[in-house]
Amino acid sequence: MSATASNHAPSARLYYAVFVALIACTALTVWVATIDLGPMNIVAALTIACAKALLVVLFFMHARHSSRLTWIFIAAGVFWFLILIAFTMSDYASRPWI
């Protein structure tokens, strides 16, 4: 544990607030799924999912007050995920049945 991470002890109130935000985002996801937005349904669902993932990483995984090395590994994971999505989308776009 780095020196900066040990100096920050989040309160239970913060965890409850993040929990309520995650529940609200889940309810928002369910509500958006009932609305016909056409191709924007996927965009809305992924935006909400990214917001929920960001809350989990920042607060429950304690990345908010962690060292720069942790942020490098988080960025590497996000970069790898984007590479996988790009390859998946290029494969999907090259299918003859589209």
> Domain boundaries in the chain?
1-66, 67-98
Report the alpha-carbon distance of residue 24 to residue 16 in Å, rounded: 12
What is the model's pTM?
0.73
In angstroms, how far is CA 69 from the centroid of its own chain? 19
15 close to 72: Cβ distance less than 8 angstroms: no
Q: Which of 63, 32, 62, 59 is nearest to 45 (CA)?
A: 32
Q: What is the pLDDT of residue 9?
A: 75
Across the range 21-31, mean pLDDT stands at 96
pLDDT tier, 97 (very low <50, low <70, confident <90, very high otherwise):
confident
pLDDT tier, 98 (very low <50, low <70, confident <90, very high otherwise):
low
